[in-house]
Structure 1
Amino acid sequence: MTRAPEDHAPVNRAEPQKHPTPRSLSGEEPIIWEALFRKFSHQGRSLQVQIRQMIVAAIEERRIPRNARMPSSRDLATLLGVARNTVVLAYQQLVDEGFLESRERSGYFIKGAASGRPKESVEIRADHPDDPNWAERFAMRPSTRRNIVKPREWLRYPYPFLYGQFDPGLFPTNDWRECARGALSVLEIHNWARDLVDGDDPELIDQLR
């Protein structure tokens, strides 16, 4: 008996998984995160700083609506080509600064306020006759003093002898950062934060000798 040929269902090959574009909670048009981060660069400033600055700028310019859901740390890390921990730390910093809020098992969202830096209202009142005349109390007016005049491209001069300026190419940046990290450790803070009154720092004395 001849057997009828079986119909073979087409085999679906695995397609590369695409990350969904996050949408705001109010059902508005999807936020084009690629456009918000188009100036992101792996060179120059810290990656975390760039992420925070671009998110803050988008919030303050109202390009991200209130209560909008941020991309997951994994999705944004994939989009920017950075480590996931970099995005997590940036999000946490923005939570501390009041721009984002973390909702349990939901992710990060733009805080309800338009900006994490609420503007305080200042009451302007007319001068009272009993108020002191502060202009008469100024012994020196900085605006009338002579200031240093220097060209904008002063650093390109062969010998730019200017007070208070340094050459970034000669400054020991790595050594300075290492000293700063060491001085800000918990153990060191206990050492240098004490009030020695008129006592000298013994380690400084040893270095001077």
Structure 2
Amino acid sequence: MWTQNATDSIPAMYVRSPCFSLFVDISNTLHCSLQSLHQVIKISLNSISNVTTIAAGNGSAGSASNMLSSPQGIFVDTKLNLYVADCVNNRIQCFQVRELNGKTVAGNGAPSTITLSCPSGIVLDGDGNLFIVDKDNHRIIGSGENGFRCVVGCYGKGSAPNQLSKPTSLSFDSYGNIFVTDRGNSRIQKFFLAIYSC
């Protein structure tokens, strides 16, 4: 139970640079994307030691399979695959368990995909579909059985209800509605899941 105005805390991880994004996976491992160090690091929250290990990136900016350039949003699926929004490389990288070489699953370098411009957030839904915050294109991209498509902000940058400006992250509620941090408009937008029936 959380206490109101809690004053007790302990360090969960020590970092050499600010974390852009955090994610705790199903094995209780905390992941942190270090944008300025071009890495994702992790630590087991079940361990008493405070030793971090590298989950992705070698610490130098680059586009090789073992490199990242300004990683931002991260997501770990139930199989412990790490997905990284690799901003400057305009791609989404997937790192399988204990693999330091990633595979490009969307964006620059992926076959039959969509063009991204500084992706900053990523989420997988319960069906394994990928949702990407395509920050500099001011939209949200989703995957499905027919490939990638624009799902939110498909009419260019703006402040209308169907537009975004420099979105940075997204989340789903239990009903499948999408919440987007619309940074350029200083708001959080809610987009309702469309339910179709016969």
TM-score by length of 1: 0.20
Task: Please identify which structure carries the higher strand content.
Answer: 2
Task: Please identify which structure carries the higher helix content.
Answer: 1
Higher RCO (CA < 8 A, seq sep 6+): 1
Greater Rg by CA: 1
TM-score by length of 2: 0.21
